[in-house]
Amino acid sequence: MTGIDRRTLFHASGVVAGATALSAGTPLAAAAERGGHGDRPGSPFPLTTRNPLVERRADPFITRPVDGMYYLTGSVPEYDRVVVRGATTLDGLASARERTIWRRPASGPMGGYIWAPELHRIGNRWYVYFAAGDSDDPFRIRTYVLESDNADPRASGWRPPRRMVTAWETFTLDATTFAHRGRRYFLWAQHEPGIDTNTNLYIAEMASPLELATEPVRIAVPTASWETQGFRVNEGPAVLIRNGRVFVTFSASATDARYCMGLLTADENANLLDARSWTKSANPIFVTNAETGQFGPGHNSFTVAEDGRTDVLVYHARDYRDIEGDPLFDPNRHTRVQRLHWNEDGAPSFGVPVGRGGPISRLSPMDAPHLVVRHFEYRLRVEGNVRELADTQFRFVPGHLGARTVSLQPVNFPDRYVRAADILRVDPYEDTDAYGRETSFVREPGLAHRDGVSLRASTGRRAYLTHVDGRLVLTSPGRGRAERERSTFWIR
């Protein structure tokens, strides 16, 4: 290995090789595509790791599949039109042809900034809710709705926009809609007269997709320090109903690196039009992460992967912190997607906005499939109910000893790798032979089950990564079933 700059070699091929670590047609790839059964978690559904998914599309909204198609819309940097693209896969949205379904008029109402469209299939019609300013005052923002009878939302024939009337003639934006227990709701951000904030969150029941049936109920006001950086903002609500609860994510603060996401929660049986039904989490749940190089994540939506079950977080973020001028007019808020996980208590677990690279894995020992491998204070261990999701997420990347080895890269510390020295830990990169040997493993079909994975040290002795009473060690497993299970891991 002497004479090789491993860091240069690794990073030059990391994105491509990492993304193809399980190449189609290989035995491990076939195993990864099979689901789990019994006490076997199985492998996660393969989700695109293209990052970003679509460049220069802020406030992204991706539908759940409709007749086998995903549709994406979002704010364009020119803030002058509503666009839609469609594909049969999430990854296909990256290269799908984009259609403009409506463009702002040259003057008058809606002739200003066009923001944050959302596309919803309600009954047998499509609706796009979007915010628009006027030509003489682009910040006189109100909410409008487009309607279409077509089966394909990319087709022409959309009816002229109609204004969504709310209780006040004030700044209004970021509307979404959802159905729950036979009732349809409208959820949006607005400035309320008499309250010293930019925008709060409101909910009302709908009489139809075009009008409200009830007065607005205020369910969130920006008061915490993380909600009031630069501006006092709660905006961009998105709804996900799971595990007996109604979850609403929202975005807060200025649209630079301080932009972040919060969470509201209500019981699924509660009266959603009663403000007392909603609880705001004390801390933000998705924030800038300098380690992964993702800044200002927010204005999200939710969809599902192609398996119809795996929840997917859709959001925008920038690849840099420093912005020249007004952040609102910086064009590089890109659409990104990543898997949404769930804690044992049924609450969503967001982790960190992940950087560029290949598929993300969580490892569970076969002898304790309810536990996961995680790092804590840079040391590896095996635990259950880990709420720090990113501490349990790794990428298999090309190993420092060449194409026949792999290294494990923590998602939230991409400059470190799992190192098997005196203890198993995640250490910063070093351009040394010892570091190359100690961070490289041979990935094999599981010793106890071929659908699992076993990681053999590349140091020459037959030692495998092994779970022992919550610790991870390198040891040579015996021939017994229990010993081989401790050296076999499911990918989750």
Domain ranges of the chain: 6-44+358-491, 58-349
Residue 459: pLDDT band (50, 70, 90) is confident
Placement of tokens 């909910």 in the chain: 203
Residue 398's H or E segment, with its range, is: strand 394-399
Residue of 118, 227, 235, 451 marked catalytic: 235
pLDDT at 188 over 50: yes
- Would you state the torsion angle of the CA atoms of residues 174, 180, 182, 183, taken in this order, to the nearest 10 degrees? -30
What is d(CA 394, CA 35) in angstroms, rounded to the nearest whole number? 20
Is residue 57 within 8 Å of 335, Cβ to Cβ? Answer: yes
Is residue 54 within 8 Å of 334, Cβ to Cβ? Answer: yes
pLDDT for res 3: 35
Query: Does 58-349 carry CATH code 3.90.45.10?
Result: no
For 191-195, the CB contacts below 8 A with 24+ separation are 192/168, 192/218, 193/168, 195/221
pLDDT at 465 over 80: yes
pLDDT for res 312: 98
Is residue 330 within 8 Å of 308, Cβ to Cβ? Answer: no
pLDDT at 429 over 90: yes
pLDDT for res 49: 86
Segment 157-178 mean pLDDT: 98
pLDDT at 199 over 80: yes
Sequence-ordered list of residues with C-beta below 8 angstroms from that of 320, at least 6 positions apart, any chain? 293, 295, 332
pLDDT tens digit sequence for 261-299: 999 999 999 999 999 999 999 999 999 999 999 999 999
pLDDT tens digit sequence for 297-328: 999 999 999 999 999 999 999 999 999 999 99
Q: What is the DSSP letter of 46?
A: P
Class (C level, CATH) for 6-44+358-491: mainly beta
Nearest Cα neighbor of 489 from 463, 462, 442, 455 is: 455
Is residue 453 within 8 Å of 444, Cβ to Cβ? Answer: yes
Segment 196-223 mean pLDDT: 98
Mean pLDDT lowest among 178-187, 228-237, 402-411:
402-411
pLDDT tens digit sequence for 289-298: 999 999 999 9
Is residue 10 within 8 Å of 21, Cβ to Cβ? Answer: no
What is d(CA 19, CA 443) in angstroms, rounded to the nearest whole number? 16
Placement of tokens 């019981």 in the chain: 267
pLDDT for res 422: 84
Residue 179: pLDDT band (50, 70, 90) is very high
The DSSP result for 141-165, as a single string, is EEEEEEEE--SSTTSS-PPPPEE--
Nearest Cα neighbor of 393 from 6, 61, 49, 40 is: 49
Residue 454: pLDDT band (50, 70, 90) is very high
pLDDT for res 43: 66
* Total count of residues recorded for the chain: 492
Active site annotation includes 235: yes
SS (H, E, C) 203-224: EEEEEECCEECCCCEEEECCCC
pLDDT at 41 over 90: no
How far from each other are the two terminal CA atoms of the chain, in whole angstroms? 33
Sequence-ordered list of residues with C-beta below 8 angstroms from that of 259, at least 6 positions apart, any chain? 251, 252, 253, 288, 296, 297, 298
Segment 455-466 mean pLDDT: 88
Active site annotation includes 274: no
The per-residue pLDDT of the chain, averaged, comes to: 91
pLDDT for res 7: 42
Mean pLDDT lowest among 19-33, 185-199, 272-286, 347-361:
19-33
Residue of 59, 256, 367, 485 marked catalytic: 59
Q: What percent of the chain has pLDDT over 70?
A: 91
Nearest Cα neighbor of 132 from 111, 148, 147 is: 111
pLDDT tens digit sequence for 213-232: 999 999 999 999 999 999 99
